Each structure stands twice: as C-alpha cells, then as structure tokens.
Structure 1
Amino acid sequence: MTDEIKTSFINYAMSVIVDRALPDVRDGLKPVQRRILYAMLQAGLVPPRKHSKSAGVVGDVLGKYHPHGDSAVYDAMVRLAQPWNLRYPLVDGQGNFGSIDGDPAAAYRYTEARLTQLAEVLLADLDKETVPYRETFDGTSSEPEVLPSSIPNLLVNGASGIAVGMATNLPPHNLGEIVDGLIAMIEDPTIDVDGLMRFVKGPDFPTGGLLSAEGIRDAYATGRGSVRVRGRTRIEDRGGKAAIVVTEIPYQINKTSLIQTVASLVRAKKIEDISMLRDESDRQGMRIVFELKRNAIPELVLNQLFKYTQLQTSFSFNTVVIVDRSPRLLPLRTLMRHYLDHRADVVRKRTEFELRKARERAHVLEGYLIALDRIDEVIALIRASADGPEARAGLVREFAMTDVQAQAVLDLRLQRLTGLERGKIQEEYRGLMEEIARLELILGDEGELWGVITAELRDVRKRFADERRTQIVDLSDDISKEDLIAEEAMVVTLTRGGYIKRTPASAYRAQARGGRGSTAQKTKDEDVNELLLVGSTHDYLLFFTDRGRVFREKIYDLPEADRNARGNHVRNILQLQDDEKVQTVLTIKHLEQPGSFVFATRGGLVKRTAIAEYANMYASGLIAINLVPGDELKAVRITDGRADMCLATRSGMAIRFAEDQVRETGRATQGVIGIRLRGDDEVVSLAVVPAEELESAELLAVSSKGFGKRTSFSEYPRQGRGGQGVITLRVTDKTGDLVSLAHVSGREELFALSQGGILIRTKVAQVSRYGRASQGVTVMRLGDGDQVVQALVLPAEEQVVEAIAEGDTLQTPPAQA
C-alpha cells in the first residue's frame, strides 16, 4: 500500500507539474491556455472576424482537447482577456470579463471572444510543420505540443502557478525591451545579465505603478528574488485641504480590497488623517481619492498607506518553467536563450517546409513548360490515349516527365495553353527559383537564419511594442526623500570657478531698470557667477557641458545656501572630466515628455534631438551632442517642433529660421550649419519662439556693457538655415559685444549678472523697444572694468516669487537667455 501511494502521488505530482500548472519555456503557456488559443484558431476566431460566443469556445476545448471542468477552461480564457492581468492580452473579449475590482466575469453563455492580433502572430506558422503534434486525450485528433511563438510570450506576459511541491511566478515585461534584449543576444551570444539589463530594465506591469530598482539584477541573475512595487500617487490641493490621489495600483492587487483595507484602518484609527475616501475610477482610468483633514501632512499619510496597505507590495520572482518536460529554475539569460533556440528551430523547420513546397511547385511548372514546348504532340498523345492512366504513362514515356508532372499536365485547364498563360508560368517559375535559392541560403548559413529571426523580432516590436508603464525608481521602506521636501522655487547659481548652490527665489528683491543691484554671492579669488536659473525643488536640473555631455540632478539634491554664500563645487556633484565646464543648465519635469532639445554650438552648428533620447541617464553622464574638433556646446533649449529659432553672435548678427529646417537626429550626432560666421565671430545665444507667439514675440538683447533693448520678432526676416543673418544689435565700443538674445513677451523679469558678482533684477517691460539695428539703452550700470556675463529671463509663471513662501509651486521651467 505504501509503495502504491508513493508511486501514485509521484505520478500525480508530475502530471500537475508538467501538464497543468507550469508554463513551457518556449511559448510561455500552460496546456489549458495553449489549447484555448489553438481551439479558437481552428474555429477561425481571428481578426477581423466578429466575436463568437465563449460557450462555443469552452465546448470546443472540453470536447476536443482538455478533459477537465468547464469553469477551469473559462476562467483561464477570461484571464487571457484581462488587460490588468496580462501585459499583452491574447484573447479579445466582448462583454463582462470581470474587473480590477475583483468582479467575476459574466457566464460564458453571455460573453463573446476572439483572438487578438498578437495571439494570431503567436500561432502563426502552425500549418508549416514547425512544431510537433500529439494525439488528443481521446485519440481522435491532434494538438500542438508547443506554439511557434513569434512573440516572446513567457517574458512579456509572465506566468504564475502552483504545482505540487513547487510554484512559478514570472513578472510581465515590456515587449520592446525584451525584443531589444533578444536582438542583443543574437548579436552577442556571450552577453551577460548586466549587458541584457541595458535593454531589459525590469518588469513592466500592466497596471503600471512604481518598481524599486533594488533586487532586479539579483532576480534576473538567479531566477529568484523580490522587488518592491508601489502604486502611483499624487497629492492635490483642495482649497486648504490636501487629497491623496491614487492613479495606479500594484500588479495583481484588487482595487476594492485596497479601498476596504484603508477604510478599516481609518475606522481602527490606525490612520487618523483621512476624512473621506471614494473611488472616482471610470473608463478613462483609475482614480482613488483620499481626502485629508485640514493641517494633515500628506507625505506622512502616504507613508502610512504604503506601510499598512497593499498600495505597496513585493513581487517575488520564482522563474520555474518546463524544459524538456522537466521543471527547472532559470535566470533571465537562460530563459531568453531557450526562446531563441526555439525560434531558430521553428524558422529552420518552416524554411524546410517552404523549400519543399517550392521545389514541388517548381517541379510541376517544369512539366508544364515541357508540355507547352511540344503542345501539339502532347495533345495528340492525349487524344490517342484510351484513358487517363494510358495518357499519363505516354507522357512519362515520350516526354521524360515524372508521374507528378504527367498528372499535372493532364489536370491542366485548356486556357492555360494561351501565350499569356505561358508567360505567367515562366514568370512564376523564375520567382520560385529565386525563392528556392533564398531558402537554401537560410538553411545553409546560420548568419542568414539569425538574420531572419532578427528581422521578425523587429517586425514584432514595430507592430506591438508600446511605452513602458511601470517606472523604475529607488524605493525605500520609509517615505521618499522627495515626499519630505516642499516644492518651492529656487534660484540656482553656478560660478565660473565651479561652485553651485540653490537659494530660495524669495531671497532676491526686484529693482527698477538701471539700478546697481545687490551682491548675488561672495566671490573668492575673483571667482564670478556664470549661470543662474529658477526652478522647483522637484525639477530635474540638466547640466550640459562645453564638451557636449549632459548630467541630471534633482534641484533638492543641491546644497542650499543664502545668496552671499559660495555653495559646493560642482565636481562634488557631477563626474566632470578635467577642464570640462558646465555651459548650460535647464530644468525639466521629466524626460519622457514630448518635444526636442535644440543645441547650438559656438561654431554655428545646430542640432535637434527628441527629449526621450535622454531618458536613460547615467551618473557618469551621457553624450548629448558630438562636437567637431575645436567646437564647443553653447546653448540648449526645449522645443515642440513648430517653433522658429534665432541664433545670435558676439558681433551682433542674428539669423531666424524655422525649427523644421533642422531635421531631428539621434543623440550622438553633431548637427548642421545654423549660421555662417565671419572671422573670429562666435555664437553667444539661441532664442526659440513658439509657433503661437510668432506674431507677438519680442527679442531682448543685452550687451556686455549693460545695454539692452526689446525688438519685435517680426523685424527679423525668416531665412534659410546656414546664412550669415542680419544685425540684431549695433555693436560699438560703447555697447560692448552682444551677451545674449532671448525671446520675451514683456511680462517677464530680467536677471543680469555681472563679472563682479552684481545681480540686477528688473521688469522686462521697463526695457525700451528699439529697432533691430539700434544699440538700445542702459539696463544695468556697471563699475569700472565690470561687465555683464550672463542675462536670463524668467517666464511669467515664476514672476511673483513672494507667493512661493505662501505655498505656491512652480510649474514651468525657466527660459534661459
């Protein structure tokens, strides 16, 4: 009895492990899932055919392939259709297929379904003898043991299941990242996990949220590990009271259960500062609102939600899959290797099938051509034959045809004997010869085989890849650093000696035009201010260096100091090379936003690159632009693709041209000629005017000896890129060289910074308007030997810095002249 129980249990356990609970490493599917998809394909339920009743699908699966309960089949099909469970759903459901609140799907007699386009690709080439088949449970039909799987389904959709004595839990990933990683492995078979993680950043859950970077590498390297997942939240101000709004929740968390948990904690007074909670989610997206009591600290309440509720959870990696009908724990690299080996086997078998069919067809066409060359003799032989077999034998004997060719000739319709049809047959034969040569090359050359696989992967990425939903960040057990820091306006200054600091914007007082200003900071050994901008503490600072590199830091990570202090050296913050110098600093909310960076170099080159190209930033910096020898980066601006640009030179020349004259290129490119320079002239400034402001915009010019003016942008003729431009400020010994040229509307404020460390702040509206070729008026009185080294314009949204101290925040990055 003991031996019988032991044997039976082992058999049962292996049956559950291999044939029910764990996915196959090749297509990422459990048997029931594979059978559902195959049954739907056999029933023709593919786009654009209309949906069919789920009851019919369940019946087909039960009757032909899966001898288990109908609820098991329907539940599996429902999950394949739920976009909050699968990153890329395989079933297109119509009707009630449940919800993220945990609501069950309607009975299968009410719902309808068909395959998604992605599932159709997953099943493609089944009819080309690409995978082995086995008999179904009753021996009346056959089913595929695995799918061809043009989609790396195991990695993009993940898997979970509990077997006997083991379980599996694989997270979903972004299709584009996985494809990039697979292509990298094809190009470099020895690539390690660190190399793969340059492409596969981490799991990408269908519900979005935030994912901790900590733990991802270990999980990928070993197949086991845990990563922290957090819902996406924001804090809204509601007339003196704050509200916490949840827009995304962790993967596989029930929204209703989350809300009920919070309600229980409020009733138990474990969370005391929530006055009301409600679910405002609709078809446009998720929105759970927790209204807070007056004077509550939103960041602390948020920390309590992360600690006590499912708003923050952990996802445990346990990548156990079936390999050769045995369960194995595999790391990321091995999972990807198995998938690529499977695709190589599928493509090889498909090519062999297509080659065989092509040769068979070419063989028939050769028979047609033999017959057409001697058509009268063929017809006479057929007419003289008593029956079909005699005619076939005669064709084989008289014309050296094979039985297959002879039968094909006998089956030939008379209309195929025309001259036009003969040409078609010859053309088809030539095409088949070319196709046969191509297929033979694939089978005879491994490089060609992997080239086909790479091309198909790229096509999959082009058709189905989308943006990453889950943001990978650094998460800690306690409240994040940013959540503890109030969002307020800061003035960031950087000296020529490399000292940087942030100072509250309210520390600077406004002055009238022509004033002497106050000392912006104490200088040491004639160190002078070089850059100044205003941004929110939560903004990113992008540091562009003269060598064309870019670094990224949060403003709140900079040292805070009063306006008379020096701050810390920038080399303690950025990994600058010897003699490398920060040239331009911009603020930006995030690097996933649409738009472009426009670059201008001292030598007159301009370049335009999508902001998203700079999303992946390293502590060691990133190449922002490739510079020609002897050139340096001068200015960078953010644009929307519809603006006009104006380059200004030290000698007072400027050229205006449409932004679309500068084609958008990749990150590591050098750009094109924006303005042709004369002599030792150089570019000093880049102004960008949005399309909607072209009629009303003005340009503010400031010279090194404190002269300035406003000029209508319409006075600058739009020219082709690459000209010498027109005069923008008449440069004389009195005015000094042109320092900057900035786009203004008249509502901003001008910050002018002198070499001696004097800062003047004045209303742009107080600077007089003059024609383009004039020298302007004094906007800043300078001491002997002093000169203006930097002039910046702050946009209207950041004009009233006094309001910042009362709780206002900044929403718009500053414009830099």
Structure 2
Amino acid sequence: MTQVTIEDELRKSYLEYSLSVIIGRAIPDARDGLKPVHRRILYAMHELGNYYNRAYKKSARVVGDVIGKYHPHGDSAVYDALVRMAQEFSMRDPLVDGQGNFGSIDGDAAAAMRYTEARMSRLSSEFLADLDKNTVDFRDNYDNSLQEPSVLPTKVPNLLLNGTSGIAVGMATNIPPHNLGELIDGTTHLLDNPDCEISTLMKFIKGPDFPTSAMCFGGKGLEEAYHTGRGSIKIRGVLNIEERKNGMESVVITEIPYALNKSTLVEKIALLIGEGKIEGVSDLRDESDRNGIRIVIDLKRGSIADIIINQLYKFTQLETSFGINMMAVVDNRPVLLNLKSVLQCFLDHRREVVIRRTRYDLEKSEKRAHILEGLRIALDNIDEVVRIIRASKAAEEARIGLMERFELSQPQAQAILDMRLHRLTNLEHEKLLEEYAELLKRIEYFKSILEQEEVLKGVIRDELAEVKKTYATERKTKLMGHDPNDIDIEDLIPDDEVVITLSRRGYIKRTPLSNYQRQKRGGKGIAGVSTRDGDFIHTFLTTSNHQHLLLFTSKGKMFKIKVHQVPEGSRNAKGAHIANLLPLEKDESIATALSMREFSDDYFFLFVTKKGMVKRSLISLYSNCRQSGIRAVNMREDDELITVKQVGADDEIVLVTRKGTSIRFSCHDVRPMGRVASGVKGIALRSGDEVVSGVVTGDEFRTQLLTVSEGGFGKRTNIDQHRTQTRGGKGIISMRVTDKTGSVLGAIMVSQDDEVVLLTSGNKIIRMSVGEVSLVGRATQGVRLVRMDENDFVAGFDLVIDDDELDSDLETEES
C-alpha cells in the first residue's frame, strides 16, 4: 500500500481540476479562438453535412450528436452555446445560421431545441476548410470510440473577430469582438513585417467592433489592453435628439452597449423617472422592431435634452465599462496575450495548416503523377503490353511481367491492368498527357511553398485577402478616441471670474461677473435674479471657474464641487435647484459657500454657528470629500452653522450679532480640533440675539469693517475701534440698530479702493465703490447704501476682488 498525505493529494487533484476547466471549458484556444464546446458543435455539424448551402436540421439533432459523440455534458449547456453562436446581437459574425426563435436582445430565451433549426453559417465553412487534408491533429473522444480535431484549421482570426468571455479557476478571459476587415489588414501587415510595433498594428486594428454598434471610447485603456493584454474601455449608447410638434423634443436611443439587456434598460429609465432622478420627461416607450432599436423619451416643454442625455449616461448602463482581459490557451497552458501575440498565434497556426495541407497535396499529386507516368509508358508500348497480358495465365503473372519488362512499380502495373479499353483512344491519350503535365507543375508549386518562405507567405496572404473580400463588412461601432473621463474638462473651460448666487429656497447659478455694471452709491440698481414670491438671494460669492466650491449646510455637512459644475444662467435667471447637484436632506439648506483652489496644511477653517459656537480645524482635513458629503462640524440640535472662514494662525475673528453687538478675539484662543468636533463658545449672546457674521481680520490692505443692515444702511469703521477681547465675552456695540436701519445683515473687511455688490429681496443688484460709504464711529447707524421699494430689504452682499479688466471696460463705457 502506498501512503500519500492528504495535502499532496488535494493539491494534485485541484490542479488537475483547474487545468481541466481552463483548457477543456472556459478559456479559448488562441489558434481558432474557440472553446471546446463551440469547436465540437461546428465539427458535429460538419460531420452531419449541415452546411450553409444545405437544408436546416433540428437543433436537437445537432445537440444530440455533440453530447453523444464529443461533449459529455448537459444538453442545455450545449444548446445555449449553439444559440449564442446564432445571435446577431451576441456575435459580430455569427457562426451558426438559425431558423426559429433564437432569443432577443430583451433577454427572451430561445425556443426549445426541438422547435428550432440550425445549420453552419457561410463563414464557419472557412473554419473547417481542408480539415480532411491532415491539417490538424485529431484526438480520441471521451470514450475513445471516435476521433475529433484538437483545433480547427480556420482561415479566420476568430479570437478577436467574435471575442469571448469565460471564468475558469483562478483566472478569466474577456475579449471584445472586432471588425474582420481590420483584423485581416493587421494580420497581413504582421505577416509582411514580423518586427512591427503594436502601435503600428493599431493603425489597422483601430479598436473593438461590437455587434450592437454604439460608441467606443478607447484612449489609454485600449492602448494598455493591446500592449499588455489588460485594459478597460468605455462603451456608450447612441442617443439622438428629434423635434416633435409644437417645438418640443424627444431623446431617441438607437444603439446600446454590447451585452446590455434592452428591456432592463427601459425598466431602469422608467424607475429613474419615477424616483425623480430624471426630470422633464413626459413619456417613455420602446418602438424597437426587426429594423433596429428605438427607445423614445418624450421631453416636457422647456426641458433641456442635453441634460437628460447626461443623466441617462450617468444613471443607466447606456455608458458601461468593458474590461479587456486577453487570456487564451497557448500550447496547453493559459497565457495573457497582447494584440501582436494574438495575431502571431493565428499566423503560426495558418503557417502550420498551409504547410501540412501542402505536404498532403504534394504527396497525393506525386502518387498520381507516378501512376500517370506508368500509364504513359503503357500507351507508348500498347501492343507489347497487350501481348504480355494475353500471354499471362493470371493477373499476378501479368503484373509481374509488366514490372519486369518496363521497370514499373507495383501500383503502376496495377493501374495498367485496371485501365479500361476506351483509354486507348488518341483523345484519352492526350488528356492523360495534359493531366500529367499539369501535375508536374502543381508538384513544383507545392515544393516551392515548402521550400520558399515568401511563396508560403504569398499563399497565406492570398487566402486572407479572399476571406476579407468575401466576408468583411463595414464597421458598426464608432470609435471616439479617448475616454471622455481622460480629458480634463477644465482645459476646455476658461478660468473667468464669475458670481455664484444661491437663494433661500435653494436655487443656484453661475453668472459671468462682467454682466454686472458699476454704479454710484444710492442708485436703484439693475435687474438681478428672477426668483419666486417669498424667495430671495442669501449667498452671493465672487470666484472663478476652476476653483473648488465648498458648500456648507446648516446641519454642519460639507459638499465639494467645481465652480464650473454649477449651471450657468443669465443675470435675471432663476437658476437650478441645489438638490440637482447635492443630496441634501429635506430640512437641510446651504448655510455658506466658500471657494478655494487647493487644500493647505498652513490654514484652517473657522466655523461659526448661530448660537455663538466657534471651531478651528486644519483645511487639509477636508480635502477628501465624498460625493455624498462629509461631516464638517458636529452640530447641536438647536443650533445652525452660519458661516465658515479660511484663517491663518495669526488672524483675528470678529463675530457680529443681529442686534449690533460684536466681539474680536484671536484665532489662537480657539485650539485646533478634529473634523467632527463641536467647538467652543465664541460670544455670550444676550436674550433673543444670534450671530449673523464672522469676519476675519489681519489683511494689511483691508483694515475697515463694513457693516450692512437689512434696511439698506451701512458704514465703515476702522477695525482698531473694535478692541481685542477674550473669547466667550458679551462683546461691544458694533452698529446702532434702529427701526430705520433694521437688523444687522452682516459685515466684511474692506479697503477704500474695494467694490461691493448688494442684492435686495426685490431682486435688484447694485455695484458700488466702498469709498462712497462714510467712514464713521463704531456706535453709529451709518448711511443709506441703496434705496429700495416698500417692504424690500437687503438680502446679501459681497466683495468684488481683483477685477482690473472689468474696471477698464466699465470706464470705457462711462466715458
């Protein structure tokens, strides 16, 4: 008895199992691009005589032959493979011609195999051409009762033509389909230029060509796949905009990504419309028929088709990624191949097939020429041949006599004995001599193929050209070059100065700063944002397109987007709702907005809440922000975040309250805290009061505090009049609040050369110089900045920074 350890036995058994799955089921052969089940289906149809130019046969008969003779697995697995080989939406060039219900792109299953019929497609005949000429090796089937080919002598580079996918043990393969004409061109170029680069082959083989058409974004992912064997590409469906009656539009989907279930896609779009993620759709219907795909999405009046298209690409599988993994079996082992090695494997296979076929034809021709040579001798000496035959008592004696008299071989002598009398005519004699001469030429040609490499290449080249001429079709998939995500959209967007406005009800927009003209103090202003009744602008920010826009909510969360991602609107446009950009909760609103280019370790965020709490945290803690936002500060239930400021280590902060109180203290008094800390008390509020603004000092150019009230009053005060105090005190008077001035709206640091922009609840905007605002004492009410209609109030204001070009333009206008 032989003892073995269980570990060794398990290791050996699992290795054998994995190799069986890899080579015998899941991974295709690099030479013919077929898995064993597909190869056996084609061979079984070949043995049945089930060719493209003959009658169809029941699929059940084909499946029965496959599982009974070559593939001892379940009939459903074999039938599923046969069905896929016949589906035009699954195979770039189908290998089976099916008749009956072979499934649909909606995911409908094929009819039972007893109902459908099949035969080989015309292209698949090229897979089995010359199979009877000893071109490939045969092996025993599973019970050693029959022989089957180990590979097919295909003339088609099928591994890339129809692609494949499969999951084995510890590895997988996923190869996209390609265009036959491009593959033949690339293969021919490699045949003539064995040392060519992969980049050169990519000039011929430009990318995948899917049976469902669509658009393919290759770029770096495709280059990586063709050079290394692994990479990723994006596939997009094709959407068109069609005009309807009354000026309305429809978005029509005419092509979808490869392997996408159309019915599932329509259901997903309907679900998104129902959930409100895609707005502005009045109707959705599938008008697809035998002529092609047509999914129609009718839009409501005023809906922007481009936005709907972008949402479809974002939320559905109309844009999908295809991970390329070109794993195939080479010499009975799985190998990761690049584009060149895939084509080289096919060329090596073709070279071997042509050589073996030529040897077979040469041997057969030489045998026939040998016979004809004997017949020619016999015809030249026909009288003597007849005499020898008549004098012989038996056929054996006649054969020996002919062999001795004319120095013939046994096959030659036997051929003379088998020759019919009508071959003795002069006409038959001439035919025999012509056949013999033709055979000698063919023998020379066959020998030249075997002896001269260029002649061999010529044969392969001609056969490839014939395949291309007969079977190649136009490309279906449109190649779009680089992945749109590989292109930095900011390279296409100018870094212009813009104004970001956000209304109390959450409508946000981006407007070029040049749309606002400078005016004198006390003017009526120009028409600003168009808002609904009861809505007004509460956040007004000047920034530029390439900066990050940080949006802090009343509940202490932070969202980060690029400024250029905010929808652009005209000066009097309402804008888009913030819910289209951010996943806010129902009772959550944007408290403040901040813009910056980069997150530095040298600066801090200073958070200020309505209840007077403050917190200082490193800005770098907030650089990584999820799409769903992050917790910026931990808020108490009865408190709200009102503002966030960027501060340095030596800065000071001034908190201003609604009733005109302020406190100034150093940021050093607020120790640095973690991202989700609650903070410490900044000011002790009087009853009924709350903080409305937090202002950072320390700018050597801006040393004055501009305070603005809701009634349209404002004043400048030197910051030195606000003495530094200890954090947590009650503060001092910052502005005298009266019924005329209204409550304090906020405050900012300014210089005499600055400009400010004010917005009123009546949607008026006025731009004015800070120098026109009186410089007065701390405990005064200030002067009127803007005249408003009755019941209007100032809703927001902000500083205009570094707009020299705009100043020049406005001076030109005023002159």
Q: TM-score band, normalised by the shorter chain?
A: 0.5 to 0.7
Structure 2 letter corresponding to 1:30:
K
Query: 1:43-54 residue pairs with structure 2 within 5 A?
Result: 43-54=48-59
Residue pair 2:178, 2:208 contacting (<8 A) in 1 also: yes
Deviation track 1:180-234 (CA, whole Å, cap 9, x = no partner) reads 1111111211111110011010001011000003221111001000000001110
Say if 2:222 and 2:232, in contact at 8 Å, map to a contact too.
Answer: yes
Counterpart contact for 1:299–1:479, Cα < 8 Å: no
Q: Report if the CA contact (8 A) 1:36-1:61 is conserved.
A: yes
Q: Partner letter of residue 90 of structure 2? A: N
Work out the CA distance in 1 between the residues paired with 2:175 and 2:218.
17
After superposition, residues 127-206 of structure 1 pair within 5 angstroms as 127-206=132-211
Rounded Cα–Cα distance in structure 1 between residues aligned with 2:345 and 2:184: 14
SS in structure 2 at match of 1:63: helix
TM-score, with structure 1 as normaliser? 0.58
Query: Does residue 417 of the first structure (1) align with residue 421 of the second (2)?
Result: no
Aligned pairs (5 A) from 1:498-647: none
Give the letter for the 1:336 counterpart: L
Looking at structure 2, the residues matched to 117 and 16 of structure 1 have their Cα atoms a distance apart, in angstroms, of: 30
Deviation at 1:2, TM superposition (A): 3.4
Q: Structure 1 CA distance, aligned partners of 2:168 and 2:294?
A: 36
One-letter identity of the residue aligned with 1:108: M
2:355 is the alignment partner of 1:331: no
Tell me if 1:476 matches 2:481. no
> Partner of 1:207 in structure 2?
212
The equivalent position to 1:359 in structure 2, one of 323, 343, 366, is 366
Structure 1 residues 496-532: Cα deviation after superposition (integer angstroms, max 9, x where no partner): xxxxxxxxxxxxxxxxxxxxxxxxxxxxxxxxxxxxx
1:280 and 2:280 aligned: no
Shift of 1:294: 1.4
The one-letter code of the counterpart of 2:176 is P
Is it true that 1:34 corresponds to 2:27 in the alignment? no
Residues 194/275 of structure 1: CA separation in 2 closer, same or farther (3 Å cut) = same
Among candidates 291, 294, 308, match of residue 315 of structure 2: 308
How many angstroms apart in 1 are the aligned matches of 2:302 and 2:483?
Answer: 26
- Aligned pair count reads 483
Instruction: For 1:198 and 1:233, locate their aligned partners in 2 and report how far apart those are by CA, in whole Å.
Output: 28
Amino acid corresponding to residue 256 of structure 1 in structure 2: S
For 2:239, the equivalent position in structure 1 comes to 233
**What letter matches 1:94 in structure 2?**
Q
- Shift in Å at residue 477 of structure 1? 4.6
Q: Deviations over 1:160-188 (max 9, x none)?
A: 10101100000110011111111111121
- Higher mean alpha-carbon deviation, 433-442 vs 392-401, is at 392-401
**Which residue does the alignment assign to 1:748?**
none
Q: Which amino acid aligns with 2:195?
A: T
3-state SS of paired residue (1:25):
coil
Which residue in 2 is equivalent to 1:15? 20
Please name the residue that 2:82 is paired with: 77
Range with greater deviation from structure 2 (383-392 or 401-410): 383-392
| TM-superposed deviation, 1:350 | 0.7
Cα separation, 2, equivalents of 1:80 and 1:225: 26
Unmatched 5+ stretches in structure 1: 486-817
Q: Is the 8 A contact 1:303 1:478 kept in 2?
A: no
The secondary structure found in structure 2 opposite 1:398 is: helix
Q: Deviations over 1:449-505 (max 9, x none)?
A: 011111111111101111110011144259999xx99xxxxxxxxxxxxxxxxxxxx
Partner of 1:656: none
Q: Give the whole-Å Cα distance in 1 for the aligned partners of 2:334 and 2:52.
A: 35
User: Equivalent residue for 1:218?
Assistant: 224
Distance, in Å, in 1 between the alignment partners of 2:171 and 2:70 is 26
Q: Partner amino acid for 1:290?
A: I
In structure 1, the partner of 2:442 is 435
1:38 CA displacement: 0.5
Aligned to 2:382: 375
**Secondary structure, counterpart of 1:123 in structure 2:** coil
For residue 597 of structure 1, what is the aligned residue in structure 2? none
Greater CA deviation, 389-398 or 426-435?
A: 389-398
Partner of 1:250: 257
Q: CA deviation at 1:383?
A: 2.1
Which of 394, 398, 402 lines up with 1:391 in the alignment? Answer: 398
2 CA distance for matches of 1:387 and 1:298?
96
SS in 1 for 2:31: coil
**Which residue of structure 1 aligns with residue 408 of structure 2?**
401
* Deviations 1:701-741 (CA, angstroms, capped at 9, x unpaired): xxxxxxxxxxxxxxxxxxxxxxxxxxxxxxxxxxxxxxxxx
User: What is the Cα deviation at residue 388 of structure 1?
Assistant: 2.0
Which of 87, 90, 97 is equivalent to 1:92? 97
Q: 1:475 to 1:225 in 2, by over 3 A?
A: closer
Give 1:605's aligned residue: none
SS in 2 for 1:64: helix
Partner of 2:63: 58
SS at match of 2:127: helix
Whether the 8 Å contact between 1:193 and 1:217 is mirrored in structure 2 is no
Residue 6 (str. 1) matches residue 11 (str. 2): yes
In 2 relative to 1, CA 463–88 (structure 1 residues): closer, same or farther, beyond 3 Å?
Answer: same
How many angstroms does 1:353 deviate by?
Answer: 0.7
Provide the TM-score with structure 2 as the length reference: 0.58
CA distance in 2, matches of 1:102, 1:477: 30
Q: Are the aligned partners of 1:303 and 1:479 in contact in 2 as well (CA < 8 Å)? A: no
Question: How many angstroms does 1:386 deviate by?
Answer: 2.2
Contact 1:19 1:31 in 2 (8 A): yes
User: Residue 270 of structure 1: CA displacement?
Assistant: 1.4
Identity percentage of aligned residues: 54
**Is the 2:52–2:97 contact (alpha carbons within 8 Å) kept by the matching residues of 1?**
no
What is the rounded CA distance, in whole Å, between the counterparts of 1:387 and 1:241 in structure 2? 100
Per-residue CA deviations over 1:585-604 (Å, capped at 9, x if unaligned) read: xxxxxxxxxxxxxxxxxxxx
Task: Look up the SS of the partner of 2:242 in the other structure.
Answer: strand
Separation in structure 2 between the aligned mates of residue 56 and residue 416 of structure 1, nearest angstrom = 46
Please say if 1:268 is aligned against 2:302. Answer: no
Per the TM alignment, residue 67 of structure 1 is displaced from its structure 2 partner at its CA by 0.7
